[in-house]
Structure formats: C-alpha cells, structure tokens
Amino acid sequence: MGLGILGRDSWVMNKDGDAIIPDDLGKLPVHTYPKYRAPIVLQTEQGRSIALARWGVRVEVKTPRRPSVKYVTNSRDDKLSGFTWRYCVAQRRCLIPAAAYYEPDGPDGAKWEVRYTIKDQPGFFIAGVWDMDPDGTTRSFSMVTTSPNALAARIHDRMPLVLDDDCARRWLGHTPLATEAIRDLCRPFPAEAMVSQAMPPPERIGKQKVTKSELSSAQGELLF
C-alpha cells in the first residue's frame, strides 16, 4: 500500500487548533512508502503540532535465538488493545494527512495500482499511532486499518481507517479514550463517498504493458 501524502508548506491551524489540509497539491510527492518520512498531526501536553515521522514503528520481536527488529506500518483495529499498540492508542494517537491511498492489483509482473480518494476533497485524514525509537529523537507512525467498505473490498480485505472531520478531532489526542469510543471510531469510511481509479503500470522491458481497456470492472469501480 502507498500513500499520496500532503506536504508541509501550506499548513495552517484554525482557532480550535485543528490542522487544515492545504488545497494546493501540485508540488507534493505522488507517493510515500514505508520507512519514508511523512507529516503527521499529533497532540502532546504542549499542544497540537505537525511533525515529520518515519512510516513504520520500530518493534522488537523476541525469538528463541536472539531479538530482532521490524518496522510495522499498519495497525489492525482489532489488535489495538494488544501489548504492541495499547500504550500508543492511549497516549499517542495521530492523524496522517493524505491526498490518496493506493492498493496494488493485477497479475504478478504486470501489476497496476488502484488509487482511492474522497469525493470533492483535496485531502483527508487517516487514523494513526506514533512512537519514538530508543534513540529518543526519531519519531515514527503506523497507519490504523479496518474492515473494508464495499468499494475497497473488491481489491483488499483491509482499508485505512479514513476519518471525517469530526472523527479526526475525536481520534487525535494524548489521553486515553474509552474502549467504546475507540470501537465507534474504527468503522470503514462510506463507500459512496469514495472514488477509485485504475493507474496503469509503466512500460516494462520484456513484459507486455497492461492497458486500461484490459482492466476488469470486477477489480473495482475503475473510473477513467
């Protein structure tokens, strides 16, 4: 999964401290990938701010031989109460601003991407959690995923936890939320408010390019 991430240049805060997504997306990168840095909106005791963080929370995994480290990019909503995420959910909930998110589709060697956006909106927020590496200076985040709506389910069995403005305000914070409040927020975004678009792959040497006319409507609501 990739994200079309918004940049930092045009950010403002309104009188309530809410981060306002910039309208001008022309100079912004098309994708942000795991282990890349991206802006997140977070809240601490000092107030609300926008910070750059690595996509992928550092998690130590104990094995019979020796501990290993992995970078976890997604946090399932049905696992948020487990040991890995419960402290982040209680104290370090953030918002990930995005212009779009992407899912791969198609056969091996000739995959394309399906781009998901929100109708009539230049950007939106995805629920996330953040943490600090042991060095005490490197901030990271993980994207919360939930069950898919009818549109996203045509491609994948999970989707990002996309939030409307009200849910974004309720999610963001550094103090615990009741279990019922977390459960109420972890719902798939309405399919009728989303748009999916097939993005054909680039030409590949030695491999035939998949054209838009060959994309099956069974793979999603593909708008050309």
- The pLDDT, as a whole number, for residue 218 is 31
pLDDT tens, position by position, 53-96: 999 999 988 777 777 889 999 999 999 999 999 999 999 999 99
Q: Who wins on pLDDT, 133 or 213?
A: 133
Residues 6+ positions from 184 with CB-CB distance below 8 Å: none
3-state secondary structure (DSSP) of residue 135:
coil
Please identify which residue in the block is written with the tokens 């956006």: 117
CA distances from 33 to 1, 38, 48, 66, 186 (A): 8, 9, 25, 28, 23
Structure token digits, residue 179 = 């279990």
How far apart are alpha carbons 118 and 101 in whole angstroms? 10
- The pLDDT, as a whole number, for residue 177 is 95
- The pLDDT, as a whole number, for residue 214 is 41
Residues 6+ positions from 198 with CB-CB distance below 8 Å: 105, 112, 113, 114, 115, 212, 215, 219, 220, 222, 223, 224
Q: Who wins on pLDDT, 88 or 11?
A: 88
% of the chain exceeding 70 in pLDDT: 77
- The pLDDT, as a whole number, for residue 33 is 83
Domains and CATH numbers, the chain: 2-104+123-191 (3.90.1680.10)
pLDDT tens, position by position, 165-196: 899 999 999 999 999 999 999 999 999 999 99
Q: Who wins on pLDDT, 109 or 83?
A: 83
- Across 39-53, 59-73, 120-134, which has the greatest mean pLDDT? 120-134
Please identify which residue in the block is written with the tokens 């995959």: 111
Q: Who wins on pLDDT, 107 or 147?
A: 147
Q: Which of 112, 95, 104 is nearest to 17 (CA)?
A: 95
pTM value is 0.81
Q: DSSP strand E in 133-203: where?
A: 139-146, 159-160, 162-163, 194-199
Burial 119-147 (b: 16+ CB within 10 A, else e): eeeebbbbbbbbbeeeeeeebbbbbbbbb
pLDDT tens, position by position, 147-160: 999 999 998 999 99
Average pLDDT along the chain: 81
The pLDDT of 9-15, averaged and rounded, is: 62
